[in-house]
Structure 1
Amino acid sequence: MSDQRGDHDADPIEGYRKDFDAAERKVAGEIDPGARAVVVAVLVLILLASLSLPHAGGANGWEVLVDGDAARDELVKVPSRIFVGLVVVFGVIASMLALVTRRWVLAWAALAGSAVSVVLGMLSIWARQTVPTDAGLSGPGIGLVLGWIAAIVLTFHWLKVVWSRTALQLAAEEQRRVAAAEAEQRGDWTV
């Protein structure tokens, strides 16, 4: 009868070890933003509000995003369009998905996209400040500046969330190191 069980039943702990490993991988892929979740949610609302405010003259952020008539009249440049697109995709959508799902990968995407949008936001402001005065075009609007500042703060908060480790993640990591050290001493490399 013991021959029919096979090698799997020889070690009853093996099934539990696989469950623990799966749980550890799940925990390692999650974030715990804590109170920062509220700050990130407020920043997402500020980004959405900034899209309704003027970015350049009479062109608000939504018109810049869809290349509306007001944006064309103000000669809105490519950096502004890319900035607004990145704010919508990463600052709003990826941030909300990361908060709802608590997935580490989505938080990283929100962080990376927000960081790139900060650079493009600065380029957008500079582009609006260097328009010729005789062209009758306006400088950067309050929506552009507010969106850029919100993107900076959002990037900072995502950075703190992504790099923070929960107590459970640290304990699982320590458990993995101890198990690996014990396996190395036994000469067992399957852990």
Structure 2
Amino acid sequence: MKSAPQDRQDFEQFRSELEAVERKIAGEIDPGVRAMVVAGAVFVLLLSLVLPHAGDARGFDVLLYDAAAQNEHIGLPSRLFEWFVVVFGIGFSLAALVTRRWALAWIAVAGTAVSCVFGVFSIWHRQTPGLGNYQGAGPGIGLILATIAAIVLTFHWVRVVWSRTVLHLEAEEQRRQAAAQAEEKDRKWLTGDDK
């Protein structure tokens, strides 16, 4: 029969392996069916870049702030919105879907949440008269679709990153059970009930 210190060493080795597996699993996401919704929202965001943002200015025009965007008096909220959409809504979302990394998904959540605010603010900004009572074109279909897609994307990413995978819960439960068994063995050894 093994002694309690030997059992303890075996358990410590086993526990460190379980913790390593749990850390690896904790760093991954499993979007499941939501991956299709996220991919669809990313596609809509990509599509919004070629659709009219306001007047003759398309999403790419706003992103690059070229002559078409300047002629339409595109403001800072719209430019920030487009950059947040491209970097977080498209870039980090695609990276998180491909790599299944939890940290990338959280970055995508944070960035798309901020882009939602800028999107709504951009729509409002396009409907408000400018300096000198300037009346520009209202929000285009690209801006409206991008804002809705960013809201949908944020909602689904939040659901994905807050959910814990079955594998992660299973590894956590195995670690708890192993710790309880080791504690029980130590208690029995200390009280002399291990016979």
Give the match for residue 159 of structure 2.
Answer: 160
Give the match for residue 75 of structure 2.
Answer: 77
Give the match for residue 50 of structure 2.
Answer: 52
Question: What is the one-letter code of the residue matched to 2:111?
Answer: G
Q: Equivalent residues in 2 for 1:30-179 (5 A)?
A: 30-132=28-130, 135-179=134-178
Partners of 1:90 and 1:113 within 8 A in 2: yes
List alignment gaps of at least 5 residues for structure 2: 188-195
1:55 match: secondary structure: strand
Q: Which has the larger radius of gyration?
A: 2
Give the match for residue 4 of structure 1.
Answer: none
1:52 match: secondary structure: coil
Q: Residue by residue, what CA displacement relative to the aligned partner does 1:81-111 show, whole Å, maximum 9, x if unpaired?
A: 0000000001000000000000001111111
Which shows bigger deviation, 129-138 or 55-64?
A: 129-138
TM-score normalised to the size of structure 2?
A: 0.84
Q: CA RMSD in A?
A: 2.4
Question: What is the one-letter code of the residue matched to 2:23?
Answer: R
Which shows bigger deviation, 132-141 or 122-131?
A: 132-141
Q: 1:184 to 1:118 in 2, by over 3 A?
A: farther
Identical columns (%): 58
Question: What is the one-letter code of the residue matched to 2:67?
Answer: D
Partners of 1:131 and 1:139 within 8 A in 2: no
Deviation at 1:14, TM superposition (A): 4.4
Question: What is the one-letter code of the residue matched to 1:30?
Answer: E
With a CA cutoff of 8 Å and minimum separation of 6, indicate the structure with the bigger relative contact order: 2
TM-score normalised to the size of structure 1?
A: 0.85
Whole-angstrom distance in 2 between the partners of 1:136 and 1:125: 14
Whole-angstrom distance in 2 between the partners of 1:162 and 1:177: 23
2:53 match: secondary structure: strand
Q: Residue by residue, what CA displacement relative to the aligned partner does 1:39-87 show, whole Å, maximum 9, x if unpaired?
A: 1111111100001101110000111011110100111110100000000
Whole-angstrom distance in 1 between the partners of 2:55 and 2:183: 67
Partners of 1:54 and 1:60 within 8 A in 2: yes
List alignment gaps of at least 5 residues for structure 1: 1-6
Deviation at 1:15, TM superposition (A): 4.0
Deviation at 1:22, TM superposition (A): 1.4
Which shows bigger deviation, 147-156 or 124-133?
A: 124-133
